[in-house]
Amino acid sequence: MSTLQQDTSGMSHGRKVVQPLWIRASHWLNAVAVILMMLSGWRIYDASPVFRGFVIPSGWTLGGWLGGALQWHFAAMWLLVFNFLFYLAMNVATGRLWARFFPLSPLSIVRDLVAALRGRLSHADLSHYNAVQKFAYLFAIVDIAVLILSGLAIWKSVQFPLLRELFGGYDFARVVHFCAMALLAGFVVVHVVMVALVPRSLLLMIRGR
Amino acid sequence: MKDQKSKPLTIDRASLLIDVRRELDVPARRLFGKRILTLGGLAMLTGCSLSDDKSVETFLSRVSRFNDTVQGWLFDPNKLAPTYTEAEITRPFPFNAFYDVDEAPVVNGADFRLQVGGLVRDNRRWALPELYALPQAEQITRHICVEGWSAIGRWGGTPFSEFLKRVGADTTAKYVGFRCADDYYESIDMATALHPQTLLAFTYDGQQLPPKYGYPMKLRMPTKLGYKNPKHIMEIFVTNTYPGGYWVDQGYNWFGGS
């Protein structure tokens, strides 16, 4: 009797690759891009704050001065955009998007959120996302898309008039860009806290199983 | 739990050993994970401070030049910047320069002569009345600063493409450069120089351009960021040699297009 094989199937989440290499690579590239975009973006924001009186401490920023921050921002944007497109295309092409994120109902999100807050949501099986995870990751995807498009509207407000109008004009596109950044920062904080609570999920994103 | 249910009754020593070994490995890995979660750890992993390194600087400037090329592709010579009504003009229109407003240069209009040079057929100097006699146009457009803020203003002057035609500029050349009375200098791509909304501006809000807004003339381009719009222009030249710019040479992107 092949007990070893039986055991392997029983420990499926321990052995089988749950996060394929392309997911892990694009996840970490995205993490680097998002950190660079945020730190440099905060410096750019400080040059002319959208919200009067709200400034980001310069110690938390990247680039040293406005010109340096702009260079970082407009270099890291290529990594962010192309990695994001790769991630989306692969998710659609492999069917992962539907398999892992759907079905997703508002009710299931609320149910899992309540369970999570009561400490009753199981994290034993990392090969399936719970409804809160599904929602959070889908939210991050949509939010990054909004960040890219509102950024494009700010950068090229004359060349992309439709995009500019979609975001309510040049000045309002800056407000949208900032708010989308703040929401993504919120996501990152929750995401990192969750990883600290369930450290196995970090291993999963590094070695795939 | 599923794992427990499917656990075999007979103990397989080999597989147990694998499991135990893996579990023993975890604390060390967890610690490593905690460390790389911090930003400081991330910076340490890259082995260099993120912004001071010379090779990083070189890399970023290269990407910036690449972005110039991309912006050249994206630039549509026929796409117009939005125009606004008189009621939408920002009042007072902000002053912005690398010096204070009371240090703005004072140019004597009576003996002023605009120099024209480089790849042009006619490099004679222009007196202000001659420039004022050229076909005039006006625009109410948005000035977008590299810092992020924007303001709507009203400028009047002669379409720059018209001026370039008059001096017989080689419009197949790559750049138009500017030297200014405040020691500012700047250069733009030929496509933008020929854009219908690029104006050699002599007036602001219907009045002669005041010193703070660039008397005797500024180049007004609603398709470019504020720092690309030189004020107090003394000399205009056409060239194929990249002339750079005051801020551009310090790290701002050269194309600087909107």
The answer to whether the CB of B37 falls within 8 A of the CB of A195 is yes
- Pick from B10-19, B59-68, B71-80, B115-124: least confident: B10-19
Give B106 to chain A, closest Cα distance, Å: 29
Q: How many CB atoms lie within 10 A of CB B135?
A: 10
pLDDT of residue B99: 95
- Residues 6 or more apart in contact with residue B247 via CB below 8 angstroms: A67, B146, B227
Q: Is B37 close to A74, i.e. CB distance below 8 A?
A: no
Q: Is A170 close to B223, i.e. CB distance below 8 A?
A: no
**Distance from C-alpha of B201 to C-alpha of A94, rounded to nearest angstrom:** 57
**Distance from C-alpha of B203 to C-alpha of B207, rounded to nearest angstrom:** 5
| Pairs of residues, one from chain A and one from chain B, whose beta carbons lie less than 8 Å apart | 116
Would the CA dihedral through B196, B143, B185, B219 be positive or negative? positive
**Distance from C-alpha of B115 to C-alpha of B222, rounded to nearest angstrom:** 24
Q: What are phi and psi of A101, to 5 degrees?
A: -105, -15
Residue A59's nearest CA partner among B109, B51, B33, B147 is: B51
Q: Flag whether A86 is in a domain.
A: yes
Interface mutation vs chain A, best among B83, B141, B147, B195, most A CBs within 10 Å: B147
Residue A87 pLDDT > 90, yes or no?
yes
CATH number at residue A49: 1.20.950.20
Tokens of B237: 């030249």
Name the residue among A48, A64, A65 with its Cβ closest to that of B145: A48
Average pLDDT across chain A, whole number: 92
Q: Is A10 close to B251, i.e. CB distance below 8 A?
A: no
pLDDT of residue B39: 52
> Which chain A positions have a beta carbon within 8 Å of B142's beta carbon?
170
Q: What value does the mean pLDDT take over residues A100-112?
A: 94
Place of tokens 């975890």: B26
Give A49 to chain B, closest Cα distance, Å: 8
Rounded to two decimals, the pTM is: 0.85
Q: What is the pLDDT confidence band of residue A8, given thresholds at 50, 70 and 90? A: very low
Give B202 to chain A, closest Cα distance, Å: 24
Residue A2 pLDDT > 50, yes or no?
no
> Which chain B positions have a beta carbon within 8 Å of A11's beta carbon?
3, 19
Name the residue among A7, A62, A202 with its Cβ closest to that of B50: A62
Q: What is the pLDDT confidence band of residue A182, given thresholds at 50, 70 and 90? A: very high
Q: How many CB atoms lie within 10 A of CB B201?
A: 27
The answer to whether the CB of B198 falls within 8 A of the CB of B160 is yes
Q: Does B6 touch chain A if contact means CB atoms closer than 8 Å? A: yes
Residue B48 pLDDT > 80, yes or no?
no
| Better-scored residue on pLDDT, B209 or A12 | B209
Q: What is the pLDDT confidence band of residue B42, given thresholds at 50, 70 and 90? A: low
Residue B2 pLDDT > 50, yes or no?
no
Q: Flag whether A165 is in a domain.
A: yes
Q: Flag whether A40 is in a domain.
A: yes
Give B108 to chain A, closest Cα distance, Å: 34
Q: Does B110 touch chain A if contact means CB atoms closer than 8 Å? A: no
Q: Flag whether A10 is in a domain.
A: no
Q: What does the pLDDT look like over A147-158, one tens digit per residue? A: 999 999 999 999
Domain around A125: 15-207
pLDDT of residue B38: 52
Tokens of B229: 């719009």
Name the residue among B12, B148, B250 with its Cβ closest to that of A7: B12
Q: What is the pLDDT confidence band of residue B9, given thresholds at 50, 70 and 90? A: low
Give A110 to chain B, closest Cα distance, Å: 24
Q: Is A68 close to B257, i.e. CB distance below 8 A?
A: no
Q: What value does the mean pLDDT take over residues B124-142?
A: 98
Residue A3 pLDDT > 50, yes or no?
no
pLDDT of residue B57: 93
Which ipTM was obtained for this model?
0.89
Which amino acid appears at position B166 of this protein?
A: R
Give A8 to chain B, closest Cα distance, Å: 9
Q: How many CB atoms lie within 10 A of CB B11?
A: 9
| Better-scored residue on pLDDT, B23 or B225 | B225
**Distance from C-alpha of B72 to C-alpha of B255, rounded to nearest angstrom:** 8
> Which chain A positions have a beta carbon within 8 Å of B81's beta carbon?
158
Q: What value does the mean pLDDT take over residues B33-61?
A: 63
- Tell me the percentage of chain A whose pLDDT exceeds 90: 85
User: Domain count of chain A?
Assistant: 1
Name the residue among B64, B147, B223 with its Cβ closest to that of A48: B147
- Pick from A28-32, A45-49, A185-189, B31-35: least confident: B31-35
Q: Is A7 close to B8, i.e. CB distance below 8 A?
A: yes
Tokens of B20: 């135990």
pLDDT of residue A209: 86
Q: Flag whether A188 is in a domain.
A: yes
Q: Is A191 helix (H, G, I), strand (E, B) or coil?
A: helix
Q: Is A158 close to B81, i.e. CB distance below 8 A?
A: yes
Give B210 to chain A, closest Cα distance, Å: 25
Q: What is the pLDDT confidence band of residue A121, given thresholds at 50, 70 and 90? A: confident
Q: Does B97 touch chain A if contact means CB atoms closer than 8 Å? A: no
Q: What does the pLDDT look like over B66-104, one tens digit per residue? A: 999 999 999 999 999 999 999 999 999 999 999 999 999
Q: Flag whether A72 is in a domain.
A: yes
Q: What value does the mean pLDDT take over residues B242-258?
A: 97
Q: What is the pLDDT confidence band of residue B178, given thresholds at 50, 70 and 90? A: very high
Q: What is the 3-state secondary structure (H, E, C) of chain B?
A: CHHHHCCCCCCCHHHHHHHHHHHHHHHHHHHHHHHHHCHHHHHHHHCCCCCCCHHHHHHHHHHHHHHHHHHHHHCCCCCCCCECCHHHCCCCCCCCCCCCHHHCCCCCCCCCEEEEEECECCCCCEEHHHHHCCCCEEEEEEEECCCCCEEEEEEEEEEHHHHHHHCCECCCCCEEEEEECCCCEEEEEHHHHCCCCCEEEEEECCEECCHHHCCCCEEECCCECHHHCCCCEEEEEEECCCCCCCCHHHCCCCCCEC
pLDDT of residue B17: 63
**Distance from C-alpha of B43 to C-alpha of B190, rounded to nearest angstrom:** 42
Q: What value does the mean pLDDT take over residues A20-38?
A: 97
Q: Flag whether A34 is in a domain.
A: yes
Domains and CATH numbers, chain B: 2-46 (no CATH), 81-250 (3.90.420.10)
Q: Flag whether A141 is in a domain.
A: yes
